Amino acid sequence: MMDETFLTTEQVLGYLRVNLRTVYRLIKAGKIPAVRVGRQWRFRKRDIDAWLDSQRPRGGSIAADVAPAAGDRTQDRRASRARVLVVDDEASIRDTLAEYLRISDYAIDVDTAADGRSAIERLRTTPYDLLITDLKMPGMDGLTLVREAKRYRADLPFIVITGYSTEATAIDAANLGNLAGYLTKPIKPRQAERLVTKALHLEE
């Protein structure tokens, strides 16, 4: 019986041990057929196996121009995953949003922080690809956090979480540069995933 097992994008990353950009390159080159399901890709395992088999005559493994060296695979896979920092003083919102992103079909690692100061400590040591922050928090508010975050990465994209939206706050946020959008409470999973994948350029 023909194998019709389907893999998600994240499963393919682990199966092939390549980064997300390489997978998109292979799709565009027609090397591994992919099927669109909503906003995600699905891959037939038999297509992936066939592509792997086609590489073996050139050395018994994935071609050198696609796969990292064995010693670098773990580092490459980590580097290929987008890193997102979610900051909100409300644990329920913070943890729920983080879980939405972790269980999505995209290669996203999520860290959380309960306040601006904790977030700054993380930003000092970790190169994040996206910052998601609540607008109103005790101590350091969201826009102040974004200003501080840009000291570590000037082009860091960010998404603002807010229970309200006014023209003034929208202008203030936009003036900081690289605003990827707003998430309004209560946060909707589809809206969050759409904004995050767009900000991280995961939909190619």
104: containing domain: 82-199
CA distances from 96 to 134, 170, 172 (A): 14, 24, 27
pLDDT score recorded for residue 177: 81
Residue 190 sits in a domain of what CATH number? 3.40.50.2300
Task: Note down pLDDT in tens along the chain; length 204 residues.
Answer: 444 688 887 787 777 776 666 777 777 777 788 887 765 678 888 888 887 777 654 444 444 334 444 344 334 434 467 899 999 999 999 998 988 888 776 778 899 999 999 999 999 999 899 999 998 899 999 999 999 999 888 889 999 998 765 556 666 777 888 889 888 888 888 888 889 988 988 764
Instruction: Determine the Cα–Cα distance for residues 201 and 84; give it in Å rounded to an integer.
Output: 13
* Residue 52: inside a domain: yes
Q: Are residues 54 and 127 in the same domain?
A: no
For residues 187 and 138, membership in a common domain is answered with yes
The pLDDT value recorded for residue 59 is 44
| Structural domains counted in the chain | 2
Domain end residue (candidates: 43, 77, 111): 77
Q: Is residue 204 part of a domain?
A: no
User: Quick one: 25 and 119 in the same domain?
Assistant: no
Radius of gyration of the chain (CA): 19
Return the structure tokens found at 119.
């977030």
Regarding whether 133 and 32 lie in a shared domain, the answer is no
Of 57, 77, 97, the residue at which a domain comes to its end is 77
The CATH number assigned to the domain holding 29 equals 1.10.1660
Are residues 15 and 55 part of one domain? Answer: yes
List own/partner pairs for 179-187 with CB under 8 A and 24 or more apart.
Answer: 180/130, 183/97, 183/132, 183/159, 185/93, 185/161, 187/93, 187/96, 187/97, 187/100, 187/161
Pair 112, 193 in one domain: yes
CA–CA gap between residue 101 and residue 107 (Å, rounded): 9
Which pLDDT does position 70 carry in this prediction? 38
* Three-state SS at 177: coil
SS (H, E, C) 100-151: HHHCCCCCEEEEEECCHHHHHHHHHHCCCCEEEEECCCCCCCHHHHHHHHCC
Asked if residue 27 is part of any domain, the answer here is: yes
Which of 77, 102, 136 delimits the end of a domain? 77
